Amino acid sequence: MIRIFIFLSIAFIISYFVGNFCGAIIISKIFIKKDIRNFGSSNAGTTNMSRTFGIKFGIITFIIDCFKGFLSVKVFSWFFASYFSYFWGEFAGYLVGIAIILGHNYPLIFKFKGGKGFASVIGIFLAINPLMTVITLTGCLIVLFITDIMSTYAISFFTATMMYTCFISDINWSMKICTIVYFVLGVVAHRSNINNFLKGKERKLGIKSKILKKLNKLKEEHI
């Protein structure tokens, strides 16, 4: 048991520092020669990168942050399942997920000022349960369309995945606790967005208006 604890601790520390590699900060500093945290919402995430430096950089940011979560969970799940047991492999995947989120949101190498963990959590859940993740992401699009706000999409995903794992999935209680931690970290990271939303000040994406304009245009063309 002590041996497993030591290996889990090592995996957690490694995953935390993997999480430190925030795509937005790295890309903006190396390729744009600017720090994304000094622009827009000051958040080192996909949405702020897309708004500030363009959709191309936003997509690259998302891929990096999503992939680091996916890869870490896959690697350590495989390692612990191979050398210990299936249970420890599954638990290690959920545990390193917490480390990835902490590393991304509070990166030591970037003075603890990172992103909000949405893309990383998507990668984590894609590694743990890809079908549930795709279904949840698709279902939460309803919330995105209604509100036209990305933060509500993220929070709805955190909420839905937690509800699924806690009340529908038959995984061990220890892993359910991990998903609750994901949710708490997600809410804490988006607390300013929640506050702005309640005040009616949260910035909209503009997707809803564009879709409605397109539909109206198509409707007019067919009249």
The CA-to-CA distance between both ends of the chain, in Å, stands at 72
Q: Which residue has the tokens 């390193």?
A: 96
Asked if pLDDT for residue 11 goes beyond 70, the answer is yes
Report how many domains make up the chain.
1
What's the CA gap between 33 and 13, in Å, rounded? 29
**pLDDT interval class at 214 (50, 70, 90):** low
Q: What is the pLDDT of residue 145?
A: 87
pLDDT tens-digit readout, 101-143: 999 999 999 999 999 999 999 999 999 999 999 999 999 999 9
**pLDDT interval class at 218 (50, 70, 90):** low
Domain around 214: 2-221
Q: What pTM value is reported for the model?
A: 0.90
**pLDDT interval class at 200 (50, 70, 90):** confident
